[in-house]
Chain A
Amino acid sequence: MSDAVLTITELNKSFGGLQVIDDVSFDVARGSRTALIGPNGAGKTTVFNLLTGVYPIDDGRTVLDGVDVTNIPAKDRVIAGMSRSFQNIRLMPHLSTVENVMLGQHARARGLAQQLFPLGLLRRNRWAEEARAALEQAGLDTYPGQVVADLPYGIQKRIEVVRAMVANPKILLLDEPAAGLNSEETEELQLLLRQINDRGTTLLVVEHDMHFVRTLCQQVVVLNFGKKIFEGTPDEVHRDPAVKQAYLGTDSTAPEEAGNAA
């Protein structure tokens, strides 16, 4: 694990005296597809929020590709190479599909000239073309001009992934990308994520669907009550007694069962 794109060291966070993240450390290997799993309330989304700077970190360090990003402002983290999708869809409801994707490019469009470039007036500019190409690759090219609020859930979910992807991050943080998708949509999503990964983007995925995790990810980190209780391959994870205990103790869907059921 010498070549880590993201190193998290002794991360701590408490809300009003409640320790929600407790000394969590792990590495995400460059080019890997890593999953972050755990029962409800284990702190997975909180880890994402701490990484992307939604909340300040109480204690600990995050290093992204050799750069300490622990205390840089949230808006600069995407520039440093980290972008994400959200558990609950958070697309801009009044923007079109293409415009939402172009927001994902924002971090790459530096400087005043780029800010004042008329994206919407010139139909064939490189940003719009790129956004449309990214949508096409994700099989979403049929809705370029449509306002996203009117689109079905599954489509919106995938637009979120595309939006995060076009930021060209070093690491892509995906918060339950498959939640609420049907099996066909999940399949397409897997394909898309593999393509993204093949081009060198590291994936860190929070997911409940263990089948999805097992087929996609090579490495799994398990959190429970804000603590890391396991780190290893997906095959090892459901043999681990601590993980079993965590899932059976709090939630009826053990990763094993969930995996078999799917």
Chain B
Amino acid sequence: MGGEIEGLLVILCLNTIYAYGIFLPAASGQLNLGAAGFITLGAYAAAWLNMSPDSEPGGLGLPMVLSIPSAVLFAAAVGFVISVPILRTRGVYMVLATFAFAEVVSGLVINLEFVGAAAGMPAEDHVDFTGLLIITICVVAFCYYLMSTRFGLAMRSVHDDESVATLFGVNVRATRVAAFTIGAAIVGLGGALYGHHFNYVEAQGFNVLLSIFILLYVLLGGTQTAWGPLVGAAFFTFIPETIRWLGRWVGGEFGKELIEYRLVAFGIIIVMMMVLRPEGVVTRTLLERVFTLRRRAAPAAAE
């Protein structure tokens, strides 16, 4: 049971990191459906840098403390380079461009012999759950900090109204490129950690559905505040498991069906969430309400 919960928390950590990487561009109004591409880049870069040159398919043999940051820098560099042309596109076009980028990355990686081609490759050093948790907390804290800065303010302004942001001196292009690049770095970090935790990377696992799910965590969690991705990732990592648990608890034929169809229920929840909270679970207004209630409650309690 303990192992099962830890396994779930590992997935939650990775999903949270991915979600924050997609959240940063989303907070500045850009939908990135290419998460799988950056995960692939981060995971393979870390695995290859870390693998000793003597083993198959071979690598550089760097220790993990170097391979992970280098993988992050690599993902950031690729993110920066492609952000310049990709961010020229808008709306649907950008969704498609990021999506096409991820497919190109995956198509290339499964043909590169030096990273094991279609079979994938091992990532030798191991990151345990504690390490993963600490890094996840750091990522959440970093994004929370970033959203509270003037740069974060610029990002949110660009999301709301690009042309007005420009008239108040915001460099819209630089803001979008920065958000996309930092996001790419974070998703790449998630990929590197995935590799080093499971000790194996395989491009087939980083597919379109993964990109779609990560974008869903972000949009359902809400892009207005830095809490959105955390809530979104947690919600959607736990919901299928909760349904599974519920199915076991109910038992019998119905319980079995519930477990079998839990992702159908998950999809229904997504559609219903969009009906009930179209701007995401966590919105500014919600936070405002929660905090004013607390403020009002405090003096009342003091009396």
Contacts and interface: CB of A to CB of B under 8 A. Distances in A.
A107 B284 contact: no
Nearest to A120: B148
Contact of B170 (A106, A118, A121): A106
B237 to A, nearest CB: 26
Complex A-B, nearest 10 residue pairs according to Cβ-Cβ distance, in ascending order: A120-B148, A107-B169, A92-B160, A78-B169, A115-B151, A147-B284, A121-B148, A106-B169, A118-B148, A90-B164
30 contacts: A52-B167, A53-B167, A54-B163, A74-B166, A75-B167, A75-B169, A76-B169, A77-B167, A90-B164, A92-B160, A94-B156, A95-B153, A95-B160, A99-B153, A103-B157, A106-B150, A106-B153, A106-B170, A115-B149, A115-B150, A115-B154, A116-B150, A118-B145, A119-B148, A120-B148, A120-B153, A127-B150, A145-B291, A147-B284, A150-B285
Contacts of A103: 153-154, 157, 165, 168, 170
A245 interface: no
Contacts of A99: 153, 156
Interface stretch (A2-10, A62-70, A79-87): A79-87
Given A116-B149, A116-B151, A119-B150, A93 B160 contact: yes
A117 to B, nearest CB: 6
B168 A104 contact: yes
Nearest to A107: B169
Contacts of A79: 169
A86 B163 CA distance: 12
Interface residues of A, number: 40
A195 B129 CA distance: 60
Contacts of B166: 74-75
B170 A94 contact: no
Given A109-B150, A119-B148, 17 more contacts: A75-B166, A75-B172, A76-B169, A83-B168, A92-B161, A92-B164, A93-B160, A94-B224, A95-B153, A96-B288, A99-B156, A115-B149, A115-B151, A119-B149, A145-B288, A150-B285, A167-B168
Contacts of B288: 96, 145-147
B262 interface: no
A95 B148 CA distance: 12
A94 B284 contact: yes
B153 A74 contact: no
Interface in A139-171: 145-147, 150, 163, 167
B242 interface: no
B153 A102 contact: yes
B167 A119 contact: no
B33 interface: no
A121 B156 contact: no
For chain B, what secondary structure do more than half of its interface residues adopt (helix, strand, loop), or is it mixed? Answer: helix
Interface in B111-150: 145, 147-150
A173 B282 CA distance: 36
B89 interface: no
Nearest to A95: B156
Interface of A: 52-54, 74-79, 83-84, 86, 90, 92-96, 99, 102-104, 106-107, 109, 114-121, 127, 145-147, 150, 163, 167
B169 to A, nearest CB: 3
B152 A120 contact: yes
Contacts of A115: 149-151, 154
Q: Which residue, of B149, B165, B167, has the highest number of chain A Cβ atoms within 10 A?
A: B167
Contact of A94 (B154, B159, B163): B159
A163 B161 CA distance: 15
A95 B157 contact: yes
Given A93-B160, A146-B288, A147-B288, A78 B168 contact: yes
Contact of B160 (A52, A94, A114, A116): A94
A164 B170 CA distance: 14
A90 B161 CA distance: 8
Contacts of A86: 164
Nearest to A149: B285
Contacts of A92: 156-157, 160-161, 164-165
A75 B162 CA distance: 11
Contacts of A116: 149-151
A90 B160 CA distance: 9
Q: Which residue, of B149, B150, B161, has the highest number of chain A Cβ atoms within 10 A?
A: B150
B24 to A, nearest CB: 14
A14 to B, nearest CB: 21
Nearest to B152: A120
Contact of B167 (A78, A95, A114, A121): A78
B285 A147 contact: yes
A35 to B, nearest CB: 21
A152 B20 CA distance: 34
A78 B170 CA distance: 10
A255 B285 CA distance: 43
A120 B147 contact: yes
A75 B153 contact: no
